[in-house]
Amino acid sequence: MKRLVPMLLAACAFTAPAFAQLRITITSGVTDPIDIAIVPFVRVGTADPLDVAEVIQRDLESTGRFKGMPRADMAALSKPTSAAEVVAAEWKQLNNDYVVVGRVTSQPDGTVRIDAELVNVLTGLRISGPYSIVAAANIRNGAHRVADALFEKITGVRGAFATRIAYVSVDGRPPNQRYELYVADSDGANRVRILASPLPIMSPAWSPDGEWLAYVSFERRTSAIFVQHRRTGKKTMVSARAGINGAPSYSPDGKSLLLTLSGSNGNLDVYLLDLASNQLKRLTDDPGIDTEAVMSIDGTVYFTSDRSGNPQIYRLTPGSNERPKRVTFTGSYNARPRISPDGKQLAVLTQDGGSFRIAVQDLANGSVQVLSKGNQEESPSFAPNGAMLIFAGRQGGQGVLQTISTDGQISARLDADAGEVREPVWGPFLP
Amino acid sequence: MNNAAMNHFARTTGVTMKKLVSVSALLATLALLSGCPAKKPDVPPTPPPTTDSTTGVQDPNAVVGDDTAIAGPPEGLLAQRIIYFDFDRSDIRADSQSIVAAHAAYLAKNPAQKVRLEGHADERGSREYNIGLGERRGQAVRRALALQGVAETQLSTVSYGEERPVEAGSTEQAYSKNRRVEIVYLK
Amino acid sequence: MPPNKKLTQFRWRGYALSILLHSALVAAAVYGWFTWKHRAPDVDTLAIEGSVVDERVLKSIAAMPEAPPEKPPEPEPAPVPEPEPEPVPVEEQGPPAPDPAELQRKEEERLELEKKQKEEQEQKAAQELKEREEAERVEAEKQAAAKAAEEKAAKEKAAAEKKAAEKKKAEEAAAAKKAAEEKRRQAAQAELLKSLEAEERGNAARNSSEAARWKAQIAAKIQSNWKLPVSARAGVECNVSVSQIPTGEVTAVRMGGCNVDDAALRDSLQDAIYRASPLPPPPPGVPFERILELTFKPQ
């Protein structure tokens, strides 16, 4: 026996095939973006001036994971309109990883079809697509859908370009400000005003199906919560109770609304409102300020509370008798929680040094990363694929909307609205 | 004025004493209504709902009273309608105590007079939390007034958080001006 | 022809060889273990032989000094003869007058006495002879018995010896077998070591600092071309086989498998390798390797 073991061990050492090869371990990579060339799409029979390739390029670049080839650099190359026409070598020579080609064809029934193909010029062998999107009236939306498909094919993450955002826009200078509520495409284009008021509008929130917006409006001189249908504009007042009505947010099933009420004694607490029965359920009872509640996909409610002195994020389970548990321990001010769609990450407004910034916390291990770099940032909101955040920042003394990837790699500014904009919320995936 | 001169004046200008009086009265009323110092534009006269938290959305029949702002008493300390606060604090500073006391005294003497206490916060931090801060400040002034003899029915509070600043900007100056409770006398 | 096929062929040959060698080693080990476990049991039982033996023989045997069975038995000490019967003492007669008749009678008596004596002596001699013969016979018997006993003992001894010898032989045979096994094992191990050493020598050439530098160069080039996908987190591990030609140009990339199922991750690895092509060539002294086995293990 004594001699058997070493022999076996020696045998085991010789496990590889009986010819030689070299073993190498790779332990890191680079965070460089993927180089992608999106060749201008050819138009067939349509006079629509929209530059689909440009919409796709801006979408992909906004995520920080792609770098589009500048049009000027394409000048000397052929302009393929299908994968078969792509000469991989000439695109590879210019350091591209992928090439996207396509066409926009108007159909007899008035719709427009967008065909796109993706070529991997590195391997020269892999072709994906064609992605064919039929856009009725909104070619821009079709372009976003193509970008979604390309993004998912290359990164494995579902794209969130064909989605909507809502935000508040403010006109005029204090004390004579006017307030408006807008819905727009995720890149800020195609904005539609859905409410205007001389008194403040706050805290818009999307229903899970993207059909309704809940918000706080002071149009009745004191705060009240309304829900409004995005398309029809139908508006319903859901809470105008004495005192403060604030911070509405939908449960994941869309049947309840978390909201903040103060009653007449002015003490803010979190409640859950059943929209069908109008029944209220009290969730917090604490002399501190408890507000800004949101519900995660697993039913946990996260909210801001200053019961420990300064605002921090707490969580509770509705229906449980347990006391709320504190979640944030980094820094002396953490407020306005938002949970990622997969329930794993918490975005907050945090005081970082002397500045207010957006941070993301991993709910499993508690690690915190401050993502943004400005001074006066607030209102983070996750994209429905959890890969990006939109938030409000300040540039040149003006409120602006910014997107940032959840690893903090890239930040982009939406320049759809030149005015003072704030409180962006990212809507859900659209059917 | 002697009658003759007035008759002469009236004949030449066509402006009789009666007309003069009525026009003056009209002008005076207009002057009053134009409201000085006017801080806010007139607001739609929708009465705020009073409702108890557990029943229904609101009580459409409840009327608190016309909440149109009026000028209110102009004398001395009572002309000061703004109480300022320190950052993240809702306790009334020592330098504001006398203002609060003056209004308390006035309101105690005028139990039919209602005021609305409007709480505000500076722009730093989250908006809904700042609604809470503004409300806390309004409640602090409310408690102080109630303790000094003002009836609860005379007092209402509302919080605008950081949404209605008086001064724009991200400076300490602007911040300190915006952290306030405004005492608004109601009709 | 798709480059992957060549790679496949090589790969299968190698696997076959490997399996064969492994099977041989395992079979040898199992056989040796079995043999050692089931060796012939010790021979413990002896047949008991019995015979009737004279007590005297036993006594004499017992009196025999303990001597190793190989030594011939010591010569018996001469048997102590029986004491001769004392001759009848002849009465001495005094010298009477000699009467011729008397003399004759006396002569006759003397003669008769002499004759009688002679007869007696003869008888005695015969008796003695008889006794001697008897003694000798007994002696011979004794000797024979002793000899028989000796022989028996010797036989038994021989039998025992034989058995012992057989046992020894068996043991030796077993030992010899074991030794042969051991030798075979050691031979196999020596073979193994020899081939390992050969590989080591090859590896030494590869593991020399030059070779290590080449590996590092390749790793660095691939690393700088690996655009990390979202899913490249610590804990993820993928194996990839790369075929290259001496110019460094990558001709085939084969995914060996990841511990997560992620198409985007696999594609990113393939892209990284092709982006890094052509790979840096080996420095002089380091043999070119056609096949590279890469493990992607982000930290």
Residue B35 pLDDT? 43
Q: What is the pLDDT of residue A3?
A: 59
* A264: helix, strand or coil: coil
Structure tokens, C49 = 């032989």
Give the per-residue pLDDT at A265.
83
Asked if the Cβ–Cβ distance from A123 to C228 is below 8 Å, we say no
Confidence class for position B24, pLDDT limits 50, 70, 90: low
Q: Give the pLDDT of residue A395.
A: 84
Distance from CA of B161 to the nearest CA of A (A): 10
Q: Which residues pair with A258 in a beta bridge?
A: A249, A272
C-alpha closest to that of A103 among A40, A152, A17? A40
Q: How many CB atoms lie within 10 A of CB A237?
A: 15
Helices (H) and strands (E) in chain A, counts: 5, 31
Determine which of B42, B127, B135, B157 to mutate to test the interface with A (most A C-beta atoms within 10 Å): B127
Are A242 and B129 within 8 A, CB to CB? Answer: no
Q: Picking from A203-217, A413-427, B78-92, which range would have the lowest pLDDT averaged per residue?
A: A413-427
On chain C, the residues whose CB falls within 8 A of the CB of A1 are 33
Contacting residues of A for B128, CB less than 8 Å apart: 202-203, 246-247, 260, 291-292, 304, 336
pLDDT attached to residue A237:
97
Across chain A, mean pLDDT equals 90
| Residue bearing the bigger pLDDT, B49 or A379 | A379
Q: In this model, does residue A119 exceed pLDDT 70?
A: yes
Share of residues in chain A with pLDDT > 90 (%): 70
Q: How does residue A382 score in pLDDT terms, banded at 50, 70 and 90?
A: very high
> Which of A265, A333, A394 is the closest to B125 by Cβ?
A333
The mean pLDDT of A396-413, rounded to a whole number, is 83
Q: What percentage of chain A exceeds 70 in pLDDT?
A: 94
pLDDT score, position A68: 96
pLDDT of residue C29: 83
Q: How far is B183 from chain A (nearest CA, A)?
A: 15
Q: Highest mean pLDDT: which of A262-266, B63-67, C128-132, C207-211?
A: A262-266
- Which residues on neighbouring strands pair with residue A404, listed in sequence order? A389, A411
Query: Which chain A residue lies closest to C239 (C-alpha atoms)?
Result: A25
Q: What is the pLDDT of residue C166?
A: 80
Residue B43, classed as helix, strand or coil, is coil
Q: What is the mean pLDDT of residues A65-74?
A: 94
Does A contact C via 3+ CB–CB distances below 8 Å? yes
**Chains touching chain B at 3 or more Cβ pairs under 8 angstroms?**
A
Per-residue confidence band for A176, with pLDDT thresholds at 50, 70 and 90: confident
How many C-beta atoms surround the C-beta of residue C46 within 10 A?
A: 10
Residue of higher predicted confidence among C116 and B167 = B167
pLDDT class of C83 with cuts at 50, 70, 90: very low
Backbone angles phi, psi at B134, to 5 degrees: -60, -40
CB C189 within 8 A of CB A9: no
Q: Give the whole-angstrom CA distance, residue B65 versus residue A367.
A: 53
Contact B138/A at CB under 8 A = yes
In the prediction, which pLDDT does B88 show?
A: 83
pLDDT for the residue numbered A341: 96
**B132-183 pLDDT, tens digit each:** 999 999 999 999 999 999 999 999 999 999 999 999 888 999 999 999 999 9
Residue-wise DSSP of A377-409: -EEEEE-TTSSEEEEEEEETTEEEEEEEETTS-
Residue B72 near chain A (CB below 8 Å): no
- Environment class of C262 (CB within 10 Å of its CB; exposed 0-12, middle 13-18, buried 19+): middle
Residue B36 has pLDDT above 60, yes or no: no
Using 50, 70 and 90 to split pLDDT, how confident is the model at B46?
very low
pLDDT band for position A33 (cuts 50, 70, 90): very high
Number of C-beta neighbours around residue C258 at 10 A: 17
Query: Which of C22, C229, C299 comes nearest A28 by C-beta?
Result: C299
Q: What pLDDT is attached to residue A66? A: 94
Q: What is the pLDDT of residue A7?
A: 55
Q: What is the pLDDT of residue A242?
A: 92
pLDDT of residue B56: 45
Q: Note the pLDDT tens digit of each residue in A299-355.
A: 999 999 999 999 999 999 999 989 999 999 999 999 999 999 999 999 999 999 889
| Complex ipTM | 0.89
Whether B63 has a pLDDT exceeding 60, the answer reads no
**From A275, which residue of chain B is nearest by alpha-carbon distance?**
B57
Q: What was the pLDDT predicted at A110? A: 83
In a mutagenesis test of the C interface, which of A22, A92, A345 is the best target, namely the one with the most C β-carbons within 10 Å? A22
Of the candidates B39, B49, B168, which has its C-beta nearest A173's C-beta?
A: B168
Mean pLDDT of chain C: 75
Q: Is the pLDDT of residue A41 over 90?
A: yes
Q: Which of C29-43, C131-145, C217-231 has the lowest mean pLDDT?
A: C29-43
Nearest C-alpha neighbor of C30 from the set A13, A11, A16, A17? A11
Chain C contact for A31, CB < 8 A? yes
Please give the pLDDT value at position C100: 65
How much is the pTM?
0.69
Q: Provide Rg for chain B, Cα atoms.
A: 22
> Of A215 and B14, which is predicted with more confidence?
A215
Asked whether residue C82 carries a pLDDT value surpassing 60, the answer given is no
Interface touch C227/A97, C-beta < 8 Å: yes
C230 touching A, CB under 8 A? yes
Is 70 exceeded by the pLDDT of residue C67?
A: no
Closest-CA residue of chain A to B160: A200
Return the minimum-mean-pLDDT range out of A85-89, A203-207, B125-129, C36-40. Answer: C36-40
**Which band of pLDDT confidence, cut at 50, 70 and 90, is reported for residue C157?**
confident
Confidence of residue B44 (pLDDT cuts 50, 70, 90): very low
Tokens representing A426? Answer: 């990212």
Predicted pLDDT at C90: 41
Range name among A201-205, B1-5, C233-237, C277-281 with the lowest pLDDT average: B1-5
pLDDT band at C77 (very low <50, low <70, confident <90, very high): very low
Give me the mean pLDDT over the A172-182 stretch.
Answer: 88
Q: How confident is the model at residue C216 (pLDDT cuts 50, 70, 90)?
A: very high
Band of pLDDT at residue C205, cut at 50, 70 and 90 = low
Q: Hey, is the C-beta of B61 within 8 angstroms of any chain A C-beta?
A: no
C-chain residues within 8 Å CB-CB of A23? Answer: 292-293, 295
Nearest to A270 by CA among A288, A252, A255: A288
Average pLDDT over residues A232-250: 96
Which of the four pLDDT bands, split at 50, 70 and 90, describes residue C107? confident
> What is the chain B residue with the closest CA to A243?
B158
- Mutation test of the interface with chain B: which of A221, A227, A258, choosing the one with the most B Cβ atoms within 10 A? A221
pLDDT at A314: 98
What integer pLDDT is reported at residue C135 of this predicted model? 79
- Rounded CA-CA distance C239/C270 in Å is 11
Q: Which of residues 103-162 of C touch A (CB under 8 A)?
A: none
Nearest to B124 among A219, A265, A356 (CB): A356
Query: Which residues 177-216 on chain C approach chain A with CB closer than 8 angstroms?
Result: 182, 185, 188-189, 192-193, 195-196, 199, 202, 206, 215
What whole-number distance in Å separates Cα of residue C262 and Cα of residue C231? Answer: 8
The token pair at C124 is 């005695």
Mutant choice from B51, B68, B117, B129 vs A, greatest count of A C-beta within 10 A: B129
**Closest Cα in chain A, distance from residue C189 (Å):** 7
A29 contact residues in C (CB cutoff 8 A): 223, 226-228, 232, 268, 272, 298
CB pair distance less than 8 Å for C263 and A3: no
Distance, in Å, from the CA atom of A335 to the CA atom of C243, rounded to the nearest integer, reads 54
In chain A, whose CA is at the least distance from the CA of B62? A242
Verify C-B touch: 3 or more CB pairs within 8 A. no
Half-sphere exposure of A58 (CA within 13 A, CB side): 17
The Cα diameter of chain C in Å comes to 165
pLDDT interval class at B120 (50, 70, 90): very high
Look at residue C114 and tell me whether its pLDDT is greater than 70. yes
Of A361-370, C105-114, C284-293, which has the strongest mean pLDDT?
A361-370
pLDDT average, residue stretch C238-250: 94
Q: Assess contact for A68 and C262: CB atoms under 8 A.
A: no
* pLDDT of residue A50 exceeding 70: yes
Determine, for residues B166 and A240 on separate chains, whether the beta-carbon distance falls below 8 Å: no
Q: Which of B123, B128, B170 sits opposite A260 (nearest CB)?
A: B128
Q: Is the pLDDT of residue C5 over 60?
A: no
CB spacing of A218 vs B46 below 8 angstroms:
no
- Cβ pairs A/B, distance under 8 A: 140
**Nearest CA to A112 among A190, A57, A43?**
A43
Specify which of A118-127, C36-45, C177-186 reaches the highest per-range mean pLDDT. C177-186
Is 70 exceeded by the pLDDT of residue B64?
A: no
